[in-house]
Amino acid sequence: MRIKGKEYRTIWFENNFVKIIDQTKLPHLFVIKNLKSIEDAINSIKKMEVRGAPLIGATAAYGLVLAIIENDDQSFLKKSAEDLISSRPTAINLKWAVDRMMNKLSGVNSDKILEIAINEAKEICEEDIKFCENIGINGLKIIEEIYNKKRDTVNILTHCNAGWLATINWGTATSPIYHAHKKGIPVHVWADETRPRNQGANLTSYELNEEGIKNTIIADNTGGILMQRGEVDMCIVGTDRTLANGDVCNKVGTYLKALAAHDNKIPFYVALPSSTIDWNIKNHKDIPIEERNSEELSHVEGLDEKGDIKKIQIYPKKSKAMNLAFDVTPAKYVTGLITEKGVCEASEKGLKELFK
């Protein structure tokens, strides 16, 4: 998608470096960063310079390419794979991408290993773009249906950033919105601010602005009253891990939006590529939920009057804060899953029908 009118992807490989857009600087500064080593790739995931389930998967895949450039010994590769998987535990795409790479690379001791790794990492990215595009085509039908009944702007609430910045291109939750906009359907997005890191305000609103899509940032607790007032036609969110039974793990706060949507009879959709499905875990309580540094809550970053990015403390120094990054929305509150293969019920039956 576009930034200042120029097409970008969120990650690419050039001259033996991995190039990323440093998302910790957005929306104030647009900085392209070079990742030069496996350590750079791991730090970039941990610090959330790259974030969003599909994108951290792709970064991990390219991280293994960088590991091979540094040292093509199999034990170094195995240790790099383990370090990548533990860098952010909740999004299954990360482990999925590392496992897929390691299936191709384990035991390969020839000078072809680098070429195989680069091709597979590229393939992971190309596939994600295709899947996200298909999610858009499938989700567009739902937006169109609402528009055909309403014949007025479709108001869509989303949480966190499940936009193109969280993927390689298109996004998951935003892909149907981009497709609707391109088709001339009037859409307006309520972007949940998404404390503590403000991905909704800093990233979703930013990327929608760049594509000329109307949006309004709201505080995380505003969705409920907007739904009661009839100002939300549907919700679309992304996910970091969806279980085979349809339970959806996503950015903390998603669950509360789903409860409010259920109470107000507003459709609540989750958009995901199949790389986000965890076919193994049966009970959502077994999903590893990332707990991040409490400083993300107690401090905020923004521009000062000179235009420099500054971080300031907003909580009492003595107070403790807790920062769970994700929650789980039970399948019963999910109207449907929008995938690359079609839209299905959030259930084992629904998912299995699509992904035999």
Least distance to ligand MRU from the beta carbon of 23, Å? 8
Q: Name which of 68 and 143 has its Cβ closer to ligand MRU.
A: 143
Q: Which stretch of DSSP H or E encloses residue 350? A: helix 348-354
- Identify which of 87, 102, 77 has the alpha carbon closest to the alpha carbon of residue 56: 87
Kindly state the smallest distance separating residue 280's Cβ from ligand MRU, in Å. Answer: 19
Phi, psi of 249 (to 5 degrees): -95, 125
Least distance from ligand MRU to the Cβ atom of residue 78, Å = 25
Q: For residues 80 and 199, which CB has a smaller minimum distance to ligand MRU in the complex? A: 199
Give the residue closest to ligand MRU by C-beta.
238
**H and E: helices and strands count for the chain:** 12, 18
Q: Give which of 216, 199, 211, 239 is closest to 157, Cα–Cα.
A: 216
In the bound state with ligand MRU, the residue whose beta carbon lies nearer, of 239 and 298, is 239
Of the pair 108, 297, the CB lying nearest ligand MRU is at 297
Q: How far is CA 188 from the centre of its chain?
A: 20
Residues 6+ apart with CB under 8 A from 21: 3, 8, 10, 30, 31, 32, 33, 165
Dist. CA 38–CA 98, nearest whole Å: 13
CA 271 to chain centre: 10
CB of 48 to ligand MRU, least distance (A): 6
| Per-residue DSSP letter, 317 | T
How far is C-alpha 66 from the geometric centre of its chain's CA atoms? 23
Q: Give the shortest CB-166-to-ligand MRU separation in angstroms.
A: 4
Cα Rg, the chain, nearest whole Å: 20
- Residue 99 among the catalytic residues: no
Query: Encoding tokens for residue 123?
Result: 């393939």
Q: Which residues contact 152 (CB under 8 A, 6 or more apart)?
A: 186
Tokens of 3: 């930034």
Instruction: For ligand MRU, give the closer residue by CB, 147 or 269.
Output: 269
Q: Which is nearer to ligand MRU, 23 or 298 (CB)?
A: 23
- Catalytic: which of 192, 233, 240, 327? 240
In degrees and rounded to multiples of 5, residue 271 shows phi and psi of -105, 130
How far apart (Å, rounded) are the C-alpha atoms in residues 209 and 186?
Answer: 15
Binding site for ligand MRU (CB under 6 A): 51-54, 91, 160, 162, 166-167, 171-172, 199, 238-240, 250-251, 325
- Least separation in angstroms between CB 90 and ligand MRU: 8
User: For 258, phi and psi rounded to 5 degrees?
Assistant: -65, -40
Least distance (Å) from ligand MRU to the CB of residue 290?
A: 8
Please give the backbone phi and psi of residue 287, each rounded to the nearest 5 degrees, phi first: -75, 130
Alpha helices in 151-222 (DSSP H): 174-182, 199, 205-210
Half-sphere exposure of 203 (CA within 13 A, CB side): 29
Annotated catalytic sites, by residue?
A: 240
